[in-house]
């Protein structure tokens, strides 16, 4: 499923496939390549997710699990002329100093014949500013933040807290995270 960022196929309003059912039975392990040359990234998206919006912010809506849809999104924010490694360090410090995030890890993603700096982080299991554990129906997120193409790409991998507690999305989200690549803009 390629996209130049200009035209988006809208999902059917009355989709009755397993990906929209509240009795979701698991991910197939199959994915489809998605490439956006206007915003400069490519990724493998599980077939259970449907593209709902493409552009500077691109969203995929997944199956209903534990009463809420899981989702993947990426926001591509232009930051021309800023060194990507400086951005990575700034973001690392920001997330490490924010008690709402944990497991901040510096990583890289493929970019042409090299790599681009990135970082991963996860929300903590408690409500912001509190020691109270999130409720099962609260949104929980993992993030991958990539620096390259004179942009910051903020990837979000979301679902109900219970879905993460039950380890229902982590394997598929790891696969998606490992498939993220930057591509030269306009190619």
**Residue 119 · residue 106 · CB < 8 Å:** yes
Higher pLDDT, 6 or 56: 56
pLDDT at residue 21 above 50?
A: no
Tens digit of pLDDT for each residue in 97-115?
999 999 999 999 999 999 9
pLDDT of residue 182: 98
Please report which confidence band the pLDDT of residue 123 belongs to, taking 50, 70 and 90 as the band edges.
very high
Domains annotated on the chain, with CATH: 2-11+29-182 (3.40.1000.10)
Please report which confidence band the pLDDT of residue 187 belongs to, taking 50, 70 and 90 as the band edges.
low
Q: Which of 73, 30, 69, 32 is nearest to 54 (CA)?
A: 73
Q: Which residues of 75-97 are buried (b: 16+ CB within 10 A; e: fewer)?
A: bbeeeeeeebeebbeebbeebee
Query: Of how many residues is the chain composed?
Result: 187
Residue 154 β-bridge partners: 75, 145
Q: Which of 13, 27, 115 is nearest to 72 (CA)?
A: 27
Over the chain, what is the mean pLDDT?
89
């Amino acid at each position: 499923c390629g996209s130049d960022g200009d035209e988006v196929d809208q999902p059917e309003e009355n989709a009755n496939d397993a990906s929209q059912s509240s009795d979701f039975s698991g991910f197939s392990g199959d994915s489809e390549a998605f490439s956006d040359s206007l915003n400069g990234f490519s990724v493998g998206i599980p077939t259970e997710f449907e593209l709902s919006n493409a552009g500077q912010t691109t969203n995929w809506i997944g199956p209903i699990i534990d009463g809420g849809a899981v989702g993947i999104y990426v926001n591509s924010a232009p930051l021309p002329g800023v060194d990507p490694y400086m951005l990575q360090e700034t973001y690392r410090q920001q997330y490490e100093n924010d008690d709402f995030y944990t497991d901040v890890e510096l990583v890289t993603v493929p970019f042409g014949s090299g790599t681009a700096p990135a970082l991963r982080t996860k929300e903590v299991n408690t409500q912001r500013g509190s020691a109270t554990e999130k409720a099962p129906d609260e949104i929980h997120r993992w993030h991958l933040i990539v620096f390259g193409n004179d942009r910051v790409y903020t990837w979000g991998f979301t679902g109900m807290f219970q879905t993460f507690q039950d380890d229902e999305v982590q394997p598929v989200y790891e696969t998606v995270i490992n498939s993220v690549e930057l591509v030269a803009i306009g190619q």
